[in-house]
Chain A
């Protein structure tokens, strides 16, 4: 295509694009501007990039035509051009320049009309940085673009997280930052942004756009999962789930992926249909083991999905379900025993437990099982006491297996 493009046509296309940009800016048309800046996602860039290929002197054209935008347009065009040539590293560098110029302008605009465009810039810079990093890794270089994008977005955040009408756009940038930090594994950097969002008194969190709130709650919920603050994590992830667009199944799945382990750890088990609907079957066996008290199944499930669970960071949470499985097992024994010997229903002999475990294929000596029972009592999973002398677990006669009721183990 590019080969057949005449210089005049190329010139026309570029000039057209530039004047549209200029118009959008002069008319304060944020949506239009945003669509013009969507260099990596919008298909509109294709004819333009052909034109850029055919007309290599485009930076001068841009700066001659629109001298007031001379530090914005040429790098932007260069970024579009590099991107179309799949030179993402160059595209990123150019785009960052353009973005800096844009941010500079954006700071000076009093109204937040260009918020949409600013968000587009934030999104594009992250996407470009990810592509550039992939490219850098391929060529064996140090991928540092995403980090650079992170620091640029911090600047954007600084420009937005101020008093006034622009603050409403801050959460979007926060979410982009979260994405970067989670990808880079530098989640501790999230803390400062969170503090800035959550401690602001002059702006109610509920006033942010819903989509940003959902994303924000999702990421902060994940952070709480890392910190094993299950109650807060539950609260945040549930908020995200409730407010998430029900059409967006992949987002719902992402939320559930973290919400389910959290719920499991506070004793709420999901229906199988839910797991099936959102293709979260890696949790199915774990849920089953919790229902059945099948310790072996739990261990198998954890083993099978270990890598995946470790990667998304819920392994340690699920690992802790072990005690709940023991509890279930004791409860089952208790129920059976109650049927057999109602008089001694609340006294479970240690040897019975050991035998049961052996039957499940788990060899443990008496001391270890005794310790587990002690732990169950200690952690309020079982009401009762353990008599060391007679090696008997004595269950409380009233509600020996209290419901967790949202209390974490």
Chain B
């Protein structure tokens, strides 16, 4: 619901702006006033509103609408779907698909409530399937939906009797003013709405005429949509619109905080309308019925009962149009075709999917002065986009969807706040820039959106179905079903999958129209690109089924080319697509690497720098000698620092890089790998495969030989050889052996205490177990170590310190490790690892 309101708001705002700009239409001024009034009231409302429950309120409102006049309900009902079209239109970026799903999703519970009783009302209202009879049945619905009790219930009852003014407003706003506002609002609201929808009403004629080239009147929902929305907003969304239009920027940020209040506000306004409607101007109710019917009759043939396939067909046709004039011509053609089909009775039987497209009227270009003038407004936007394109050369159709993304994401949560935020993120350019264009381009956008819908298969049909939902119950049930399904399937994956699936077949068919379409839209979207170019692109291509599946994506096209010239950069884990301005190109990375190599700073700093270099390499997909060098450097540093986690990361990357034919210190790292496998992971199968994968040349390499010798020493338990190798390890082999030293020493001392009798001198032990000489006497450290491990020491006749092996053999133990862990990562504590390996 909130989402819908959002759309409405936005749409309305855009409309308002348009009208403001045009200044030619009579209605405009009218409306402006309303807007101002409404906005005033709305603000007061916002403050008072938060006490009420949110959604229930809305439902209730709607039922009340029903009560007051079935038409009201019918309108609002009908308007919702159109409003989403509108949303797409006003902010052409709005994601046709996800947005509308969301709307539907929100909308459905509401529909659901109402559609149940409708059968009763159906015969009366004809095409608008809700009427007064509904009231009786629906009244039951409003009660369970625990709304603010006294104000909510009383007007409801009174509404059905159509006599009492709603007390709802009483708490918040001074009564007289309210009434006035309501009245004011109400009158034009209806007028606008019906005027727009029914071209026959003189007032709207201006506006309509003005739009005529763009909207041939017959073009089903295409032309209906903007008008509808207008009225819709007037009625339900106008108050909110006031907020947005008058203080767009300031207001939005506050909304997330008052979100519950916000969502209530609108229903309330609606209620007020209704209340006023009933109380003050009952005449309008009666008037509006026939009007609505007129509208229904007029559009019933095309907008309501048109098969989706025909709508899709129309969309296809329209989407091929290059400009307004063509579109207009095309629309009239479609209109003719449609009416012909209706008269033939082939409307429903004809296979519109296979119907040949209408040839484009090329000579209509002269009629497009207005549109070209309009387009100029979008020109500044299109420039940056072009630049972007050259860089990432996105598939044009991805444009379409990338706009979806920023909105779609928050919408997943169904949160108004997020939604608002998202829009807010788009900034004023979103609202202003977009909506400024919208008067001229709406048809583009609509068609665009429709083509989108079409691609979405059943989804789109649901949406459109919703548009014309006041036809049959059956259809409504169907839409309900679909909508529920779509609500369930609202998860991005599902959506993506579906879109992808449905588009597979239409791709070729639509490709031309799509590209043209997007060409039209490019300008409009451009500013978004400049904001979050790649993320939008990437996510867009993810989300959008029309684009390729992940495995088909052209990653080259998405690869970043960095422009950052800073040598030093802190590592920050990317949470979104990288910004080229913060990514360093290769030659800068080379400098950064040498800076790290020569840096005197500590490992943490270097690790951080190297990680950022690795990140920049990764996002730019640089895989060459430099990459190898960076990983090797980092692996070595990590080894020296005992950072096994980083080492393993680098090692696995290096394995891949070597395998892919990048030159580097392959032997050195093969040796590390061997040592790592044998000493750390101690997996015999891994060791076997590592050994088996060594080439003859590798086995001749000193470092590898050393590693293999270490392996032999470990496997036979020869501690003497192990510690000899430990001392002479090439490269950083000794660093890896460090991991095993403690264990090897303990094994050795166990072995010694078992096999030596009666004693073994500590000096000898210190020597063979690789204790570092401490001045003249290296045994001091060894002595400490031995004592720590429970060895029994004694001094012999010659004054030499000895280990009493027999006594020691039963007292040796492995001490608990202190906090110091050789590799610096307590979670990989040596003892844990010992426990695992033993």
Residues of A with Cβ closer than 8 Å to B? Answer: 185, 187, 226-228, 307, 310-311, 313, 315-316, 319-320, 322-323, 367-368, 370-379, 385-389, 394
Contacts and interface: CB of A to CB of B under 8 A. Distances in A.
B688 A316 contact: yes
B689 interface: yes
Given A226-B685, A375-B716, A385 B755 contact: yes
Interface in B688-738: 688-689, 691-692, 712, 715-721, 724
Given A378-B755, A388-B759, A370 B688 contact: no
Contact of B691 (A187, A315, A367, A378): A315
A212 to B, nearest CB: 25
A87 B706 CA distance: 48
B549 interface: no
Contacts of A316: 684, 687-688, 715
A369 to B, nearest CB: 9
Contact of B755 (A187, A228, A307, A373): A373
Contact of A310 (B691, B755, B767): B691
B281 interface: no
Contacts of B626: none
Interface stretch (B123-131, B612-620, B746-754): B746-754
Nearest to A227: B684
A233 to B, nearest CB: 12
A371 B684 contact: no
A315 B708 CA distance: 13
A52 to B, nearest CB: 30
Nearest to B687: A316
How many interface residues does chain B have, given as a range? Answer: 20 to 34
B718 A375 contact: yes
Nearest to B692: A310
Contacts of A371: 718-721, 768
Contact of B718 (A227, A372, A386): A372
B548 interface: no
B396 to A, nearest CB: 31
A368 B718 contact: yes
Contacts of B687: 316
A226 B688 CA distance: 9
Nearest to B690: A310
Given A185-B689, A371-B720, A387-B758, 16 more contacts: A310-B691, A310-B692, A315-B688, A316-B715, A320-B715, A322-B716, A368-B718, A371-B721, A372-B716, A373-B755, A374-B751, A374-B754, A375-B755, A387-B756, A388-B759, A394-B757
Given A310-B692, A375-B751, A388 B716 contact: no
Contacts, number: 78
Interface of B: 684-685, 687-689, 691-692, 712, 715-721, 724, 750-752, 754-761, 764, 767-768
A377 B689 contact: no
B754 A378 contact: yes
A378 B685 contact: no
A322 B715 CA distance: 10
Given A313-B685, A367-B768, A388-B761, A319 B752 contact: no
Contacts of B692: 307, 310-311
Which of A227, A311, A386, A388 lies at the interface centre, i.e. has the most chain B CB atoms within 10 A of its CB? A388
B764 to A, nearest CB: 7
Contacts of B719: 371
Nearest to A378: B751
Nearest to A385: B757
Contacts of A375: 716-718, 751, 755
Contacts of A315: 688, 691
A374 B752 contact: yes
A310 B767 CA distance: 35
Contacts of B689: 185
27 contacts: A185-B689, A226-B685, A310-B691, A310-B692, A311-B692, A313-B685, A316-B687, A319-B715, A320-B715, A322-B716, A368-B721, A368-B724, A371-B719, A371-B720, A371-B721, A372-B718, A374-B756, A375-B716, A375-B755, A376-B755, A377-B754, A377-B755, A378-B717, A379-B717, A385-B755, A387-B757, A388-B761
A372 B755 CA distance: 11
B111 to A, nearest CB: 40
Nearest to B753: A378
B760 A388 contact: yes
A330 B721 CA distance: 20
Contacts of A376: 755
Q: Which of B684, B691, B720 has the most CB of A within 10 A?
A: B720
A375 B722 CA distance: 13
Most chain A beta carbons < 10 A, residue from B688, B760, B767: B688
Q: Which among B691, B756, B760 has the greatest number of chain A C-beta atoms within 10 A?
A: B756
Nearest to A308: B692
Contacts of B716: 320, 322-323, 372, 375
Nearest to B758: A387
Nearest to A322: B716
A322 B717 CA distance: 11
A210 to B, nearest CB: 29
Contacts of A367: 720, 767-768
A378 B747 CA distance: 10
A262 to B, nearest CB: 14
Contacts of A374: 751-752, 754-756
Nearest to A370: B720
Contacts of A227: 684
Nearest to B765: A388
A322 B711 CA distance: 13
Nearest to B683: A226
B221 to A, nearest CB: 43
A185 B751 CA distance: 36
Contact of B756 (A319, A320, A388): A388
Contacts of B691: 310, 315
Contacts of A228: 684
A387 B712 CA distance: 26
A379 B750 CA distance: 11
